[in-house]
């Protein structure tokens, strides 16, 4: 099953290692906030709507960060931009732990988003160009499992800190731990090289390059991919950002118990990422997305509305985590195979993060609507609606499995 990994050359393996670390620590920093929400509701007396705003602002600004970083990748190189974005989001996650008011935390979370969005854009393009065509789907998908590792680390740290420290200090300590990704920059600087594909071309110098995928011949592909990503991200964020609060306030599970329940869901997510990596090469990118979207709709309904006990919700949570995260494994690969090298950075950066920006509105919307129809129903309205948007967009996009990156270059098509 992993024989292909031994076939990778040292350059491919080092790139995988760097991006896996970046994704893991990215998830650690971002998912910390979902565990902090109950503490802020209790200690700062903020509303659910304000908590949703704090979740949304990071994701919303990350759309701009990813777009800018994608364009910067085309101009300054994938590896250099990856280092800058990792350092940026680590520093501002750390500073969140020192916030003394809602307004200060809002600003730090917004600035964190610039690096958060940029890191995915740089890392996804880097991986897509370094890994050979034969293994690209599973390699990028395996790296995506780092998200579940970082998410699981956040859940574990939350469980430990909330049990050993006063709540007023525990939530701050979680953010302070977010400085850890900064150390990864030194390793990347020494061991990771720029893709050969990117070294062979002349980088763009015009500032208008940032708009290149918003014009023909790329515009049609760009809006469809952004719509697909918006559905995937919106559905995921509406559920995962509010899940700790749902378990604690609706299911009445303790703080420590909430962490344990989420660890089960995250374990499912890990296996979902791995499965998605192999399915992307096995049944194709589009079929993998579709299986995940339809399965997520079904299991979200069961998780939120089926008359089952807190004990029985554990295995359902595992399946929900498994199915709903499959869709993220092929995303980087899929977008890499849709754009030529000259616009690949800005193309992936815009599509993924424009989708994320739209998806970012969903946590805030859940927070505001929960006051009228309840938290579980609000999560369902927005997550199920988002997955429906994803399915519609998928029907308009091509399959890319087996596509060579060389075939996308202008010289290959004449």
Residues 6+ away with beta carbon under 8 Å from 112:
29, 58, 89, 92, 93, 96
Strongest mean pLDDT among 24-28, 190-194, 385-389, 404-408:
385-389
Strongest mean pLDDT among 109-123, 147-161, 190-204, 226-240:
226-240
pLDDT of the residue at 391: 97
| Mean pLDDT value across residues 140-163 | 86
**Low-confidence winner among 185-194, 268-277, 337-346 (lowest mean pLDDT):** 185-194
| Mean pLDDT value across residues 56-82 | 87
Res. 294 pLDDT band, cuts 50 70 90: very high
Res. 201 pLDDT band, cuts 50 70 90: low
**Low-confidence winner among 266-270, 356-360, 363-367 (lowest mean pLDDT):** 356-360
- Cβ atoms < 10 Å from Cβ of 202: 6
Q: Is 164 exposed, middle or buried (0-12, 13-18, 19+ CB in 10 A)?
A: exposed
| Mean pLDDT value across residues 251-268 | 81
Res. 358 pLDDT band, cuts 50 70 90: confident
Residue of 106, 19, 122 lying closest to 66 (CA atoms) = 122
pLDDT of the residue at 33: 86
Q: Cβ(23)–Cβ(147) under 8 Å? A: yes
Tell the residue number behind the tokens 């985590």, with chain if given.
321
Res. 1 pLDDT band, cuts 50 70 90: low
Res. 398 pLDDT band, cuts 50 70 90: very high
Does pLDDT of 237 surpass 90?
no
Does pLDDT of 363 surpass 50?
yes
Residues 6+ away with beta carbon under 8 Å from 411:
none
pLDDT of the residue at 2: 67
**Low-confidence winner among 252-261, 264-273, 314-323, 375-384 (lowest mean pLDDT):** 252-261
Res. 107 pLDDT band, cuts 50 70 90: very high
Does pLDDT of 103 surpass 70?
yes
Q: Cβ(259)–Cβ(155) under 8 Å? A: yes
| Mean pLDDT value across residues 52-58 | 85
- Tokens (6 digits) for 369: 């609507």
Per-residue pLDDT of 156-167, as tens digits, reads 898 899 889 999
Res. 151 pLDDT band, cuts 50 70 90: confident
Does pLDDT of 150 surpass 50?
yes
Cis omega (within 30 of 0) for bond into 217: yes
Q: Which domains are delineated in the chain? A: 10-190+213-397 (1.20.1250.20)
Res. 195 pLDDT band, cuts 50 70 90: confident
pTM listed for this prediction: 0.80
pLDDT of the residue at 413: 46
What whole-number percentage of the chain has pLDDT above 90?
A: 38
CA distance 108 to 97: 9
Average pLDDT across the chain, whole number: 88
pLDDT of the residue at 414: 43
Alpha-carbon distances, residue 37 vs 148, 246, 349, 373 (angstroms):
20, 11, 28, 20
């Amino acid at each position: 099953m992993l024989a292909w990994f031994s076939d990778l050359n040292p350059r491919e393996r080092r790139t995988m290692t760097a991006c896996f670390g970046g994704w893991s620590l990215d998830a650690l920093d971002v998912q910390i906030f979902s565990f902090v929400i109950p503490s802020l509701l209790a200690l700062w007396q903020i509303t659910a709507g304000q908590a949703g705003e704090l979740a949304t602002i990071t994701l919303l600004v990350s759309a701009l960060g990813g777009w800018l970083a994608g364009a910067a990748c085309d101009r300054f190189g994938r590896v250099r931009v990856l280092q800058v974005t990792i350092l940026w989001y680590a520093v501002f996650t750390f500073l969140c732990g020192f916030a003394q008011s809602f307004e200060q935390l809002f600003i730090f979370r917004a600035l964190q988003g610039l690096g958060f969005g940029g890191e995915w854009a740089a890392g996804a393009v880097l991986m897509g160009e370094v890994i050979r065509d034969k293994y690209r789907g599973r390699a990028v998908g395996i790296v995506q499992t780092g998200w579940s590792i970082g998410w699981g680390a956040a859940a574990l740290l939350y469980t430990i800190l909330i049990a050993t420290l006063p709540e007023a200090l525990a939530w701050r300590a979680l953010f302070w731990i977010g400085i850890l990704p900064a150390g990864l920059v030194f390793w990347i600087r020494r061991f990771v090289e720029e893709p050969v594909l990117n070294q062979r071309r002349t980088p763009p110098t015009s500032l208008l390059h940032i708009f290149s995928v918003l014009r023909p011949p790329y515009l049609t592909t760009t809006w469809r991919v952004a719509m697909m990503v918006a559905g995937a991200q919106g559905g995921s964020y509406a559920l995962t950002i509010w899940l700790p609060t749902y378990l604690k306030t609706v299911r009445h599970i303790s703080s420590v118990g909430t962490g344990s329940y989420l660890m089960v869901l995250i374990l499912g997510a890990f296996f979902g990422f791995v499965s998605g990596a192999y399915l992307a090469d096995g049944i194709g990118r589009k079929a993998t997305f579709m299986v995940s979207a339809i399965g997520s709709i079904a299991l979200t309904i069961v998780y939120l509305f089926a008359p089952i006990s807190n004990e029985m919700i554990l295995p359902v949570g595992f399946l929900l985590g498994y199915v709903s995260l499959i869709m993220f494994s092929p995303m980087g690969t899929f977008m890499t195979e849709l754009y030529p090298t000259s616009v690949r950075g800005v193309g992936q950066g815009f599509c993924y993060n424009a989708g994320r920006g739209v998806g970012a509105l969903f946590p805030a919307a859940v927070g505001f609507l929960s006051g009228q129809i309840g938290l579980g129903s609000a999560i369902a309205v927005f997550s199920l609606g988002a997955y429906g948007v994803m399915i519609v967009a998928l029907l308009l996009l091509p399959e890319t499995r087996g596509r060579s990156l060389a075939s996308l270059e202008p010289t290959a098509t004449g």
